[in-house]
Amino acid sequence: MDGKGFSWTEFLTISVIIGILLVIAIPNFVSMRHDAVREKVSRHVESIRSAQIAYHQIHGEYVEVKEWTPMEQAGSQSHQWPSNSGFAALGWAPEGEVHGVYQVLVGVDGEPGFKVIGRCDVDGDGEHAQFSATQLTSTSRETGSGTY
């Protein structure tokens, strides 16, 4: 450097280093964001499970919500939660917008109880990550760890 600024070589070297750092950082950031959104779906499933158990203790029955809520298919976009969904009977609604879709089935396979299912497709590739919980089991992921 001659005191007036950076030389062309110094500028290119710095640009290459920043470019390499960006190539490494951006995919990691996107992956962490996908993980966080997918984990939120898991937490919602567990929260719905808790609301369902509390509802059953008070009313002696479970609430079934067969329709996927807030919409039929999970996609990569977030959606507003409808105030008039079947989940309103449980007194459950998420804060803000959601990325997943949810349903509650009662008496699955002729068994007493319920099953909460949450799906998401955070990366928009058409493959859904799915989580489920029952009155006896906490939330578990039913798809592979690489499915978002």
pLDDT digits (tens, 9 = 90+) for 74-94: 888 889 999 889 999 999 999
pLDDT at 1 over 50: no
Which pTM value belongs to this model?
A: 0.79
11: buried, middle or exposed (CB in 10 Å: 19+, 13-18, 0-12)? exposed
Residue with tokens 């990691």: 28
pLDDT digits (tens, 9 = 90+) for 11-67: 899 999 998 888 887 777 777 887 888 899 999 999 999 999 999 999 999 999 999
Average pLDDT, the chain: 89
Q: Of 47, 48, 44, 102, which is closest to residue 73 (Cα–Cα)?
A: 102
pLDDT score, position 146? 77
pLDDT digits (tens, 9 = 90+) for 115-127: 999 999 988 888 9
Pairwise pLDDT comparison (3 vs 120), residue with the higher score: 120
